[in-house]
Structure 1
Amino acid sequence: MYGEAVALGAGTVLNALATGVGSAFAIDAETTARVELDDTGTVSGDIAGVPDGDTRLIRRVVERVVERFGDGQGGHVRTESEVPMAAGLKSSSAAANATVLAALSALDVPVDGTGAASGESPTGAAAPLDREEACRIGVRAARDAGVTVTGAFDDASASMLGGLTVTDNDSDDLLAREAVEWDVLVWTPPARAFSADADVARCAKVAPMARLVTDLALDGRYGPAMTVNGLAYSAALGFPTDPAVEAMPHAAGVSLSGTGPSVVAVGDRDELAQARDHWSQREGDTWMTTTRTDGAQVIE
């Protein structure tokens, strides 16, 4: 009973902390999960390259999948990622989504549009599981594990479905999805910031700007939405706005990603290269990637 899957990291258009509405877009950075189920009844986990990594989320994901589709199985889950942890690039959402799909594959539960193994699930359900609902399994596990404040359905849906999504994280509803195609510049400083540690009360004070960003995003004006979001949340969370100001002349949009510390800019690759020249002088990692529209996929 083995399954393997990949899911994507993502960047932020709108942080959901202030109003519960969020927006994110998938980027070409993958997390791989491998799940092997057995009859032990307990789930263990590890994260490649992080021997003391917190595995509560990925273990809870497997437990939730087994509770819903399995028969009391235990097993082991291992994740390996190109997405830096605690950097605002949705590493937890990517790990959860990849683990969900790998665990479902191990149980022969098909998922619509992911290349999942064919055949009926153990519950006898002939139709494939909807990808949005598969995503919600990981979101609920993230809440169980205490690694998210909002549930992060915005981040998780972008990672699972690909493209750009706008969501209501209070109700886990998908409000909009678009298959954007952008070049993406990322700067990740050495510091790390965990989403669960964000100052929610302080973020609530930028709700008027978050509502403006929601209107911009639902109107398809993603670049301005990102930029307003980034300035507002950088101020609320105590991150410098200098990187955004440096990128503004060269980007369609630039934002603090998640609760930081990474900053993401989108637009034309040649223009973004000029922003990269500025960001490369800063301590940390600066790298170029693209958006992805295909979303998470089952490998085996």
Structure 2
Amino acid sequence: MQGQAAAPAAGTVLNALANGTGSAFAIDEYTTATVELRESGPVEGTVAEDPDADTRLIEACVERVVEDFGDGQGGTVRTESDVAMASGLKSSSAAANATVLATLSALGEADALSREDACRLGVDVARDVGVTVTGAFDDASASMLGGVTVTDNTTDDLLARDELSWDVLVYTPPERAYSADADVGRCRSVAPMADLVAELALDSEYARAMTVNGLAFCAALGFSPDPMVEAMDRAAGVSLSGTGPSFTAVGDRDALAAVRDVWSQREGRTWLTTTQTEGTRIT
């Protein structure tokens, strides 16, 4: 009774903390979950990159899937990720998505849920565990379905989904920022800008939308906009990702390579990747 799944990370077009509408796009970096079930007992989780990491989310995802589709099984779940935790690249959403599909696979129930409903299950668990303020249906749907999604996080409705072929530049500073610790009041103060970003996103103006989002949320969350300014004259769009500290820029690969040369002078990790349109998959 073993299953494995891989879920892509994601970057932000619109942070949902301001007005409940969110948008994100999947990138070609992954979190993989391996689930091994036994007839009974507890569920024990481990995170390969950090033996002391909080494993409540992945454990609770296994427990919820077993509750709905299993027969009291226990077991283990282990995640490995290409992206750092609490870096703004949706590692929690990717971990939940991969764990849900891996557990369904281990139970022989891979087709029991649609991808959207499997995503919603993980979002419900994330809310219950308290690792997210909004439920992060925008982040989770981009990771589960691939491409770029626009969502209403207050109702978990998918408003739009597109498939885009972007090159993506990612900069991750060494510090970490947990979304559950974000100042929600300050984020809601930029709701007028978030409303504009939502309009742009629903008009498929994703690159312009993410730049407006980035400027607004750098101000709300206290991040320097300098990485954005360094990219604006070359990238099609650039934004703070999630509640930080990572930044993502999209556009032409040669132009992004020039931005990489600038961002690489900063402390942290900078790398080029692409968008991902397949979403989470059982492996």
Residue 62 of structure 1: SS of its match in structure 2? helix
Residues of 1 paired with 2:92 and 2:219: CA distance?
24
AA partner of residue 277 (structure 1)? D
Helix, strand or coil for the counterpart of 1:95? helix
**Superposed CA offset, 1:88-114 (max 9, x none):** 000000100000000000111123xxx
1:134: which partner in 2? Answer: 118
**Equivalent position of 2:205 in the other structure:** 221
SS in 1 for 2:133: coil
Which of the numbers 148, 154, 157 marks the counterpart of 2:138?
154
Distance 1:59 1:169 in 2: 23
Amino acid at match of 1:78: R
User: Using the alignment, how far apart are the partners of 1:87 and 1:154 within structure 2?
Assistant: 16
Listed as ranges, the gaps of 5+ residues in structure 1 are 112-127
| Matching residue of 1:124 | none
- Matched residue of 2:40: which SS? coil
Residues 43-122 of structure 1: matches in 2 within 5 Å? 43-111=43-111
Q: Which residue of 2 aligns with 1:11?
A: 11
1:115 is matched with none
Count of residue correspondences: 283
Is residue 171 from structure 1 mapped to residue 151 from structure 2 by the alignment? Answer: no
Superposed displacement of residue 39, structure 1: 2.1
Residue 278 of structure 1 is aligned with which of 262, 276, 283? 262
Q: CA deviation at 1:141?
A: 0.9
Deviations 1:65-91 (A, max 9, x none): 011111111111000110211000000
Amino acid at match of 1:59: E
Q: CA deviation at 1:144?
A: 1.2
What's the CA shift string for 1:153-212, capped at 9, x where partnerless? 000000000000000011000000000110000111111000100000110000000000
Query: For residues 247 and 49 of structure 1, what CA distance do their matches in structure 2 show?
Result: 30
Measure how far apart 1:53 and its partner are.
0.7
SS in 2 for 1:13: strand
- Does 2:243 align with 1:259? yes
Contact 2:101/2:110 (8 A) holds in 1: no
Show the counterpart of 2:189: 205
Alignment correspondent of 1:293? 277
Q: Residues of 1 paired with 2:151 and 2:41: CA distance? A: 35
2:223 aligns to what? 239
SS of the residue corresponding to residue 187 of structure 1 reads strand
Q: What percent identity do the matched residue pairs reach?
A: 71
**Displacement of 1:44:** 0.6
Structure 1-normalised TM-score? Answer: 0.93
Structure 1 residue runs of 4 or more that deviate by more than 2 Å after TM superposition: none
Q: Deviations over 1:193-252 (max 9, x none)?
A: 001000001100000000000000000111110000000000000000010010001101
- Normalising to structure 2: TM-score of the pair? 0.99
Secondary structure of the structure 2 residue equivalent to 1:57:
helix
Query: Which residue pairs with 1:268 in the alignment?
Result: 252
Partner of 1:209, secondary structure, is helix
Cα RMSD (Å): 0.7
Q: Quick one: distance in 2 between partners of 1:23 and 1:149?
A: 15
Aligned position for 2:38: 38
Structure 2 gaps of 5+ residues are: none
Tell me the distance in 2 between the aligned counterparts of 1:81 and 1:255. Answer: 22
Letter of the 2:224 counterpart = P
CA contact (8 A) 2:228 2:239 kept: yes
Indicate the residue corresponding to 1:122 in structure 2.
none
Question: Which residue number corresponds to residue 123 of structure 1?
Answer: none
Secondary structure of the 1:34 match is strand
